[in-house]
Structure 1
Amino acid sequence: MLRKLALVSALAVLMTGCASVNMASKEESTKAKAFNAPSQGNAGLYIYRNSFVGKALKKDIWVDGNCVGESAPNVFFYKEVTGGQSHKITTESEFSPNALEVAVEAGKNYFIRQFVKIGVFVGGAGLELIPEAQGKADVSKLEMAKPGTCSAS
């Protein structure tokens, strides 16, 4: 009975409340959602979170070991990286970081979806590469977060 109560309580925390982060200006968000080509020699990374689960949780995101910021529900980050290389995108999970390695071409944009998943003690997060058309559709409904500091940095 106690186990069931603990599980129900954990699920309630993961599915209610709403975390917030510092947001970029409307102008910056609108400009990023034009999905223009990145600057010469670079690729663009749109890292976003649009999942319903875990609205009360903030989760750190790093690219190549550098903090991008803490995500919250319905936000995205935009970051340019060097084209023609692989880049490691990492996020917090319950017991260890989850990472996604993405080989990028200069001049292209890539869309990485962060999703929160239910854990044993606290929600974790995962990452997945999303096709461009779906990524654009998803990001167009979100607002851009300001790059910031990660809680574990």
Structure 2
Amino acid sequence: MFFYHQVDGGQEHKVATESEFSPNTLKLFTEAGNNYFVEQYIRLGAFVAGANLRHHDEASGMREVSELSMAASGNCSSEL
């Protein structure tokens, strides 16, 4: 499953995720007309797994996304 989000070029953008023990951020400087792919993955720890982010080049990102379905965007909240 993947999300698609259009952003302005010529700017730095921050992608963030949070796991039980730490927030994780990835900064990307985007250029207009290019596609950027960020993967959220599970990082195994000594006692608990956590989330992390990594940037993929366009070729590998397109290959991965072509096998997935697009997710519906929503609003996340830490208040349950």
What interval of TM-score do these two structures reach, taking the shorter chain for normalisation? 0.7 to 0.9
- Give the % identical residues: 51
Confirm whether residue 92 of structure 1 aligns to residue 18 of structure 2: yes
- Tell me the matched-pair count: 78
Confirm whether residue 102 of structure 1 aligns to residue 23 of structure 2: no
Task: Show structure 1 runs of 4+ deviating over 6 A.
Answer: none
For the residues of structure 2 that align with 1:91 and 1:111, how far apart are their CA atoms? 15
Q: Secondary structure at the match of 1:136?
A: helix
Other-structure match for 1:138: 64
Q: Secondary structure at the match of 2:4?
A: strand
For the residues of structure 2 that align with 1:90 and 1:135, how far apart are their CA atoms? 18
When normalised by structure 2's length, the TM-score is 0.88
Specify every segment of 5 or more residues in structure 2 that has no aligned partner in the other structure, as ranges.
none
Q: In angstroms, what is the RMSD of aligned CA positions? A: 1.4
Cα offset, 1:107, TM superposition:
1.0
Specify every segment of 5 or more residues in structure 1 that has no aligned partner in the other structure, as ranges.
1-74
Cα offset, 1:95, TM superposition:
1.3
Other-structure match for 2:73: 147
Task: Judging by fraction of residues, say which structure has more helix.
Answer: 1
